[in-house]
Chain A
Amino acid sequence: MILLISTCKYSLSEEEFVEPIAAIVRETGCKYSIRRYYEKVNFSEFDKIIICGTALKDFNYLKYLSNFKPLLNYSGKVLGICAGYHILAKIHGASLSKVEKIGVYEVKVVKENPLLDKKVVRAYFLHTLALTEANSFLEPIAFQDREICMFRVRGKDFYGTAFYPEVLNKEVIVKFIELK
Chain B
Amino acid sequence: MKVCVLYSGGKDSNLALLKASRVFDVVCLVTLIPRSEASYLFHYPAVNLVELQAKALELPLVKELTPDEEEGGLIALKNVLMKAKKIYGVEGVVTGAIRSTYQASRFQKTCWDLDLWCFNPLWLKDEVSLLREMLTEGFKVVFTRVAGYPLRKSLVGSLLDENTVRFFEKIRQYVNPSGEGGEYETFVLDMPLFKKRIELLEYEVVGSDYDATLIVKKARLTKK
Contacts and interface: CB of A to CB of B under 8 A. Distances in A.
Interface of A: 10-13, 15-16, 19-20, 23, 55-58, 100, 102-104, 124, 126, 128, 166-168
Given A16-B121, A102-B109, 13 more contacts: A11-B23, A15-B119, A20-B123, A20-B124, A56-B108, A57-B115, A57-B117, A102-B108, A103-B105, A103-B109, A104-B101, A128-B112, A168-B101
Contacts, number: 66
Given A12-B23, A56-B111, A124 B125 contact: no
A38 to B, nearest CB: 17
A57 B112 contact: yes
A167 B115 CA distance: 24
A13 B119 contact: yes
A55 B107 CA distance: 12
B112 A56 contact: yes
A68 B52 CA distance: 50
A12 B124 contact: no
> Which residue, of A11, A15, A56, A58, has the highest number of chain B Cβ atoms within 10 A?
A15
B49 to A, nearest CB: 27
B120 interface: yes
Contact of A55 (B20, B109, B119): B119
A10 B23 contact: yes
A102 B119 contact: no
27 contacts: A10-B1, A10-B117, A12-B19, A12-B94, A15-B121, A16-B119, A16-B121, A16-B124, A20-B123, A20-B125, A23-B124, A23-B126, A56-B118, A57-B112, A58-B117, A100-B112, A102-B105, A102-B108, A102-B109, A103-B101, A104-B101, A124-B105, A126-B105, A128-B112, A167-B101, A167-B124, A168-B101
A128 B118 CA distance: 14
A113 to B, nearest CB: 24
Nearest to B22: A12
Interface in B176-191: none
B167 interface: no
Contacts of B118: 55-57
B24 interface: yes
A124 B119 contact: no
A23 B111 CA distance: 27
B155 to A, nearest CB: 28
